[in-house]
Structure 1
């Protein structure tokens, strides 16, 4: 990239000398012109491969992955009833055959009356209840073991739900619910409906709450942190208070920065509520289509200046260039008198577009690094892992462009 910029700078210097000549270029005239070596070093076409891309659609997780492993849905009363009535095996296997009217006796007589009237039947029922409780606890333990194993395999799909349940249990115990059994039952009944503590300390992902959008939320948090604002602030930064800041000069609001991030990287959305679609993802288009879109705009701005349809104002020059590679009045005046104007203008627009998108990509990395330091994000291992994956993907995009330039 450094060699390209050096070549362009040399070209504009020589072209500026040309612009100062008294007579315009003519085949019958002699004078200072750009050598073939300089033109060859600049080259034609584009600095890197470019192409457009359509809008990426969101894809929801399949039904099989969307099932809730809710061990709390197991019912002890139903377990006891089925054990005593023979719907499940345990009790009958241990106690053997039961008299035909045992079910009717259980339904019509209180336990004390049964104990006095028929001690053998009472002992039979007591042993059945004990066996049912053992089977129930064993089944529930197995369910939880399967849920933990599934969490290890499915990763984020069930991991966010486990975080939601853990936070709900902590909130229940801290609110005065010291009864461990009732606290666990309450948490199992709620599941992940209470959501997860997310950016700014707000709950997200639960029932009636906004979903957790990793790329969007972390990027907006990073934007606000780098501009010394509240992490949940969604307003634009006024130009009067921007003070020529790099972040707010590039994107005027957190939403604008997040839109760039999700366009490049895609999105990963998580929810923990019961009946919700747990994971929704969208692929990003990468940096190449954005270079193409920027190229079209920069080339149009350059051509308008070269054709004199727009004046050489600071605003129009800024629209044709970028902070990393500005376009000056001398460059435009030199290009106007250049016989290879179209080739040079297109290559200049390509280099400007590349620098513009690359500078935004590098700044986006800084936003995501800063957003990952937001306390509620930093305390969440799944969130930091997801952010690391996205920043690695962005770095790979940047490295791919660097490889093309070399």
Structure 2
């Protein structure tokens, strides 16, 4: 069974490239920073998506569903608990005696048996009270939205308690024993529609699973859907990553991964974060190859070729390629490398912005919200991505400014001095009557 919570997906991005670009003089185009500066949605067909969550995440659990009379009967009859095997015969006999005689008559007729029954009743009451106390403590923490054991690995016990509370006719003692016996083997309800982390279940990939859920939510799908339906008007999200798995793989590389299992003997692993530099390097290599091929070719570049080497906000024009072809080889190589760097940084930052929004969207799935550990992990991943983005921007701007400002000032100063010298008008002779051709001018 499922229940649903409503999640508004209002994510914004920039398109892969500007749609309209000038065909000839494009200097003004770059001076204004391109045609598109307002971000566009990841999904142009944004809708309100109702995301279903497991019923086990819902309310309605109560320790009052446990039957204390059944718990006492189990202790007295020793049929199910097996804690006093040495007194089985006496207990079976006691069952009939208790049923046929009032307590006072039993006390007078068989004081030893009566004392044994009283001790058993006291022990049963203590066991029921203790188990119910544990259950009610768990119930209170669940109702407050806490992770009762503060770790996702042990959160499975909380879900086992929920299941035990939902069963009618059970006892607190038996429920506690079953929870302890399971010891996390049942896993937890997870974002991809099935329980995860337990015996025979898929491990919980905190980064990957949340990103995949956010990707599908953005495309108006349920997190558990295994296929991605292409949009009739593809937005920047599918243009960047065609599948949820591709998006998850990119984010895993940047912020790392935690693979969690709730069962006792199941492996738990982690993948360290590598940051944005590997992605930046791959972008640079791909753009450099395509741009070099285009500049060295003598054919006019096509729109598709220009799109392949353009950034998310500003598209290269044919005029730029022609200008690169006209430059001397050394100068053209330098300018091309600078273009490659700028475009690669722009694309990498764009992917980072997309990834951030996917993490936030996936973090709103009910199964993630129900676990404080998972929610805190997602928040940490978003913070790590923000820090990595800020670091890349800082390094990029620092490399632009440090050392270059003095050189720019020097070159501009030299250019002004040259222009000043060119503007000096040559003055005539100061002699009002100079001698020209052997005679004095009158």
TM-score range, shorter chain: 0.5 to 0.7
* Alignment match, 1:366: 357
Counterparts in 2 of 1:158 and 1:218: CA distance versus 1, 3 Å? closer
* Alignment match, 1:168: 163
Contact 2:215–2:362, Cα closer than 8 Å, also in 1: yes
Contact 1:216–1:259, Cα closer than 8 Å, also in 2: yes
1:271 maps onto 2:261 in alignment: yes
- Partner Cα distance (2:158, 2:295) in 1: 59
* Alignment match, 2:223: 231
- Partner Cα distance (2:169, 2:266) in 1: 28
Counterparts in 2 of 1:283 and 1:309: CA distance versus 1, 3 Å? farther
* 1:380 Cα deviation after fit: 2.2
* 1:255 Cα deviation after fit: 0.9
Summarize the alignment of residues 183-222 of structure 1 with structure 2, pairs less than 5 Å apart: 183-199=175-191, 201-222=193-214
* 1:158 Cα deviation after fit: 4.0
Summarize the alignment of residues 2-81 of structure 1 with structure 2, pairs less than 5 Å apart: none
- Partner Cα distance (2:347, 2:158) in 1: 40
- State which of 308, 317, 320 in structure 2 corresponds to 1:331: 320
Counterparts in 2 of 1:311 and 1:128: CA distance versus 1, 3 Å? farther
- Partner Cα distance (1:303, 1:249) in 2: 23
* Alignment match, 1:285: 274
Counterparts in 2 of 1:135 and 1:204: CA distance versus 1, 3 Å? same
- After TM superposition, the score normalised by the length of structure 1 is 0.62
1:354 maps onto 2:345 in alignment: yes
- After TM superposition, the score normalised by the length of structure 2 is 0.57
- Partner Cα distance (1:15, 1:308) in 2: 26
- Partner Cα distance (2:170, 2:121) in 1: 26
Contact 1:200–1:232, Cα closer than 8 Å, also in 2: yes
Q: How much is the aligned-residue C-alpha RMSD, in angstroms?
A: 4.1
Gapped runs of 5+ residues in structure 2? Answer: 1-24, 30-79, 95-105, 139-145, 399-442
* 1:326 Cα deviation after fit: 2.1
Contact 2:128–2:173, Cα closer than 8 Å, also in 1: no
* 1:318 Cα deviation after fit: 1.7
- Partner Cα distance (2:152, 2:216) in 1: 29
SS at match of 1:286: coil
* 1:376 Cα deviation after fit: 2.3
Report the structure number with the largest CA radius of gyration.
Answer: 2
1:391 maps onto 2:382 in alignment: yes
- Partner Cα distance (1:199, 1:124) in 2: 55
- Partner Cα distance (1:205, 1:79) in 2: 32
* 1:192 Cα deviation after fit: 2.0
Contact 1:324–1:356, Cα closer than 8 Å, also in 2: no
* 1:346 Cα deviation after fit: 0.6
- State which of 229, 243, 251 in structure 1 corresponds to 2:241: 251
Q: Name whichever structure is richer in helix by fraction.
A: 1
Higher relative contact order (CA 8 A, sep 6+): 1
* Alignment match, 1:43: none
Q: 4+ residue stretches of structure 1 with deviation over 4 A?
A: 12-16, 76-81, 106-113, 119-141, 151-155
* 1:228 Cα deviation after fit: 1.1
1:314 maps onto 2:303 in alignment: yes
Counterparts in 2 of 1:110 and 1:78: CA distance versus 1, 3 Å? closer
